[in-house]
Amino acid sequence: MKFHWGWGIAIVYTTFVVVMVTLVVKSKSVDHTLVAEDYYAQDIAYQQHYDKLANAASLKEDLKIYADRNTNQVVLHFPAEVGKPSGQVVFFRPSDKSMDKTMNIEVDSHGEMRVPMRQLAPGLWRIKVDWQAGGRAFFKEVKLFL
């Protein structure tokens, strides 16, 4: 049997169909749950979020978020210039939505909130702090690898 252009076209089309079917099957197996369910509400409220970011940038002392390996705690050190903070801290796990944790801000006399690392699985976390103090609202987000 001799190879000619007809066989070449058949091989190209067959390969194309196999690749396209493979891509469709693989795209159906991707988990899309990490997309925010209230996407449109978040988009409308973006100006408020931007104002919170601007307020946080105007502080003399920034909110510090770090992992204290000696005490095995995640420490959130709030600036003293604005007073006692209130609000929420979200520990967002990009790889698994079921591991996300939301906590109310509770600070000690030093203006720190401490979260034991045993409550958080090892890996990458995005920590989102939405807080209010001194009549203003603030927001800060950091990535932290535990």
Per-residue pLDDT at 12: 95
How many CB atoms sit inside 10 A of residue 40's CB?
9
Binned at pLDDT 50, 70 and 90, residue 1 comes out as: low
Per-residue pLDDT at 33: 67
CATH code at position 60: 2.60.40
Q: Mind listing the pLDDT tens digit for each residue in 105-129? A: 999 888 899 999 888 889 899 999 9
Pair (25, 43) in one structural domain: no
Pair (87, 140) in one structural domain: yes
Q: Mind listing the pLDDT tens digit for each residue in 56-67? A: 989 899 899 999
Pair (58, 12) in one structural domain: no
Pair (72, 136) in one structural domain: yes
Pair (53, 120) in one structural domain: yes
Binned at pLDDT 50, 70 and 90, residue 138 comes out as: very high
Range of the domain at 103: 39-145
Q: Provide the sign of the torsion angle of the four alpha carbons 96, 97, 99, 104, taken in this order.
A: positive
